[in-house]
Chains A and B, each alone.
Chain A
Amino acid sequence: MNWSVILGLVLRYTYIIRRSVPRMIEMLFWPMLDLLVWGFLTIYLQKLNHGTPSAVTFLLGAMIFWDVLFRSQQGMTVSFLEDVWTRNIINVFVAPVRVREFLTATALVGLIKVGIIIVLLTVVAWWLYGFNLTVLGWGLIPLFVNLMVMGWGIGMVTTALIMRFGQAVEMLAWAIPFLFQPLSAVFYPVSVLPPWLQAVAWGLPSTHVFEGMRSVLAGGGFPSGYLLWAMGLNAVFLAAETWFFMWMYQSTREKGYLAKLGTQ
């Protein structure tokens, strides 16, 4: 791994955010909007239920956690798309950049985006709704890490699909993560899903993270069981997703799509 290359790519993607007000707004606007809508909804629900505070914490916590997964995926795929949109992708791929360096750089961009958004959401959630994310204690970090890793994996798959099928499928960058939302039991416990769907849901690392989060917020201890499952599943998924990316990358080189992608 050449860290000069990785830093160069990270620099390139962060320059874009710094240089573009619409991109900066896009990065912060949707999470903030989500927080406001879900925050006020939970206050309303709390009133209807004569003040059960757990409703607020569950929903706001879930919303912030979901953003970790979604933004880490976006950091990866949108970074790639930025180079496609600006017809720069060939310049990057004919530079001495290894695929693993490219993936590491885009994953780091996801990490930076997640970091900024989480700090902002945590402050605003505490200020507006009195929701303190740090009640999750140290368990928060491994839960976040697992969601980020899952986001990176989905990011690799969406990037690979765009690389292979071109800009015509770029909407997948936003659509695919949401395929996992209902199954991950983000805003409700897995137990509300039909039994056959529960089996599928438990096959996702994110489901274990969200269940773990709810268990901590409900006063349970460190969610080590959930974490172990999430880590194990993430390891399996990440290996499969890396293989899929490499397979697609080779396929685009064989079929000549990579050379066309940047000049269409």
Chain B
Amino acid sequence: MDEMVRVKNLRKEFGALVAIEDLSFSVARGEIVGLLGPNGAGKTTALSILMGLVTPTAGSVRVFGLELERNRVEVLQRMNFSSAYTALPSNLRVEENLTVFARLYSVKNPREKINELLELLEIAHLKKRVVGRLSSGESARVSLCKSLLNDPELLLLDEPTASLDPDIADKVRKWLRQVQRDRGIGMIYTSHNMRDVEEVCDRVLFMQKGKIFAEGTPRSIVAQFQEKSLESLFIRVARSGDVEEV
């Protein structure tokens, strides 16, 4: 399969703290890869490095075959991001927010694109609404709309279903699967919701203390560690505090 992301021997130190010790992985075109791990495992740092927000201490990151640090704008033009921890300006209307981002991503025919995505995510009726007055489920869908504006080849998702009720979370998972199928978008997905990961991800990278200690399909990882589910493995990893003890 065509390789979109290639991370090799990545290391990130914040002073004395080693956030990522030695991380290597790749993501193929159209593949959904889950980054799992307890708090402090290095998932967010890895994601931040992939978006060019944080510079690595050592190692290399190539996205679409391009070295990220030297081709930051070209790479970012072909990917997008959505997170439960960021927000779109609350005092702007949905349409205004999306228009601004359509310009930032140099989207051709922005009006058509915005309408198409609003329809896809079933929020066309919210177009004129101010973002600050939307429910968290509606805001999450607007954020997903923003992340699909530039027809990204790679989507980075940081806990996209956090704070959503089970119904909306389920819908979001289905939309993500649908856009992945229809558009062949590759995704890197971080979540603390194991159901998300089992349902959405083709492959999981289980991280702890800045390293990958398990890699495979959700089912194969569960089998490898002889656990009932990813969730019970997650709890075991989080409580053991050390990979060797798992």
Contacts from A to B (Cβ < 8 Å): 2, 4-5, 7-9, 11-12, 15-16, 19-20, 82-83, 86-88, 90-98, 250, 253-256, 258-259, 262-263
- The residue of chain A having its C-beta at the shortest distance from the C-beta of B48 within the complex is A259
The smallest C-beta distance from A1 to any residue of chain B, in angstroms, reads: 11
- Give 17 pairs: A residue, B residue, CB < 8 Å, sorted on A: A5-B104, A11-B99, A12-B100, A15-B89, A15-B92, A15-B96, A15-B100, A19-B93, A20-B91, A93-B53, A94-B51, A95-B76, A95-B104, A96-B106, A253-B53, A254-B54, A262-B86
Give A19 to B131 CA distance when docked, in angstroms: 12
Q: What are the residues of chain A within 8 A of B102 when measuring CB–CB? A: 8
A256/B54 contact (C-beta < 8 A), A16-B91, A88-B86, A91-B81 known: yes
Q: Write out, one digit per residue, whether chain B residues 63-106 have a CB within 8 A of any chain A CB (1) or not (0).
A: 00000000001101100110101111111110010011111111
What 10 A-B pairs are tightest by C-beta distance, nearest first?
A: A8-B103, A259-B48, A96-B77, A95-B104, A96-B76, A12-B100, A87-B87, A259-B53, A263-B85, A94-B51
B103 touches A11 (CB 8 A): yes
CA distance A82 to B100 in the complex (A): 15
Residues of chain A with a CB closer than 8 A to B193's CB? none
In the assembled complex, B184 has its CB within 8 A of some CB on chain A: no
Which chain A residue lies CB-closest to B81? A94
Q: Please tell me if B24 contacts chain A, counting CB pairs below 8 Å.
A: no
Is there an interface contact between A95 and B101, defined as CB atoms closer than 8 Å?
yes
In the complex, residue of chain A having the shortest beta-carbon distance to the beta carbon of B143: A91
Within 8 A of A (CB), among B16-74: 19, 44-45, 48, 51-55, 73-74
**Is the contact region of chain B dominated by helix, strand, or loop, or is it mixed?**
mixed
Give the distance to chain B from A120, nearest Cβ to Cβ, in Å.
23
Given A4-B104, A87-B86, A255-B14, 7 further pairs, Cβ under 8 A: A5-B106, A8-B101, A86-B88, A95-B101, A96-B76, A253-B52, A256-B12
Q: A98-B73, A256-B14 are in contact. Are A87 and B85 (CB under 8 A)?
A: yes
- Tell me whether B89 and A12 are in contact (CB under 8 A): yes
Cross-chain contact B105 with A88 (CB below 8 angstroms): no
Pairwise interchain contact B103-A7, C-beta atoms closer than 8 A: yes
A161 CB, nearest partner CB in chain B, Å: 19
Contact assessment for B104 and A97 in the assembled complex, using a CB-CB cutoff below 8 Å: yes
Inter-chain contact B105/A96, CB cutoff 8 Å:
yes
Measured between beta carbons, the chain B residues less than 8 angstroms from A8 are: 99-104
B146 at the interface (CB under 8 A from A): yes
A250 contacts B104, C-beta separation under 8 Å: no
How many whole Å from B148's CB to the nearest CB in chain A?
Answer: 14
Question: Which partner residue on chain A sits nearest B106 by CB separation?
Answer: A4
Residues of B within 8 A of A15 (CB): 89, 92, 96, 100
* Interfacial residues, chain B to chain A (CB-CB below 8 A): 12, 14, 19, 44-45, 48, 51-55, 73-74, 76-77, 80-81, 83, 85-93, 96, 99-106, 130, 146, 156
Task: Verify A91–B101 contact, CB threshold 8 A.
Answer: yes
Residue of A nearest to B93 (CB): A19
Residues on B with beta carbons closer than 8 Å to the beta carbon of A2: 106
Most chain A C-beta atoms within 10 Å of own C-beta, residue among B73, B92, B103, B106: B103
Pairwise interchain contact B53-A258, C-beta atoms closer than 8 A: yes
B117, chain A: closest CB distance, angstroms: 16
How far, in whole Å, are A262 and B85 apart by their CA atoms in the complex? 8
In the complex the two chains form, is A258's CB within 8 Å of B76's CB? no
**A11 touching B100 in the complex, CB below 8 Å, given contacts A82-B89, A86-B90, A87-B87:** yes
Complex CA gap A15/B73 in Å reads 25
- Interfacial chain B residues near A258, Cβ < 8 Å: 53-54
**Which residues on the B side are within 8 Å of A91 (C-beta)?**
81, 86, 88, 101, 146
- Provide the residues of chain B in CB contact with A262, threshold 8 Å: 85-86
Q: B92 and A19: CB pair below 8 A?
A: yes
Query: Given A98-B73, A253-B54, A256-B54, do A16 and B89 touch, yes or no (CB 8 Å)?
Result: yes
